[in-house]
């Protein structure tokens, strides 16, 4: 969380925590963003990209050029899980 927060501060982007569980996700109040907002989505571990896709879908982000930056701390090979 700290790394994501620091990245958002350095890049001058808004910071919000997104829950992992779908039930928590459904209860989240989504802040309103202007269409030209650049979003930084940070995940601690990435395997399949489902957390990223869920966040983009739930936040109703229109994907365009330079709309989203995705950062992860660790990339795992699913065959090793």
pTM to 2 decimal places: 0.54
pLDDT tens track for 23-73: 776 777 777 777 777 777 777 666 667 777 777 777 777 777 777 766 666
**Structure confidence at residue 13 (pLDDT):** 76
Domain boundaries, the chain: 2-22+36-80
Say if residue 10's pLDDT is above 80.
Answer: yes
The token duo for 35 is: 């269409």
- Which comes out higher in pLDDT, residue 22 or 81? 22
**Structure confidence at residue 71 (pLDDT):** 66
Rounded Cα distance between 15 and 9, Å, is: 8
**Structure confidence at residue 40 (pLDDT):** 74
Q: Which residue spans within 1-81 are E strands per DSSP?
A: 39-46, 68-75
């Amino acid at each position: 969380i700290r790394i994501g927060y620091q990245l958002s501060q350095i890049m001058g982007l808004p910071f919000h925590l997104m829950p992992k569980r779908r039930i928590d996700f459904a209860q989240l109040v989504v802040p309103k963003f202007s269409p030209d907002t650049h979003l930084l989505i940070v995940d601690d571990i990435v395997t399949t990209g489902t957390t990223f896709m869920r966040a983009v879908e739930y936040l109703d982000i229109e994907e365009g050029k330079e709309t989203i930056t995705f950062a992860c701390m660790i990339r795992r090979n699913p065959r090793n899980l």
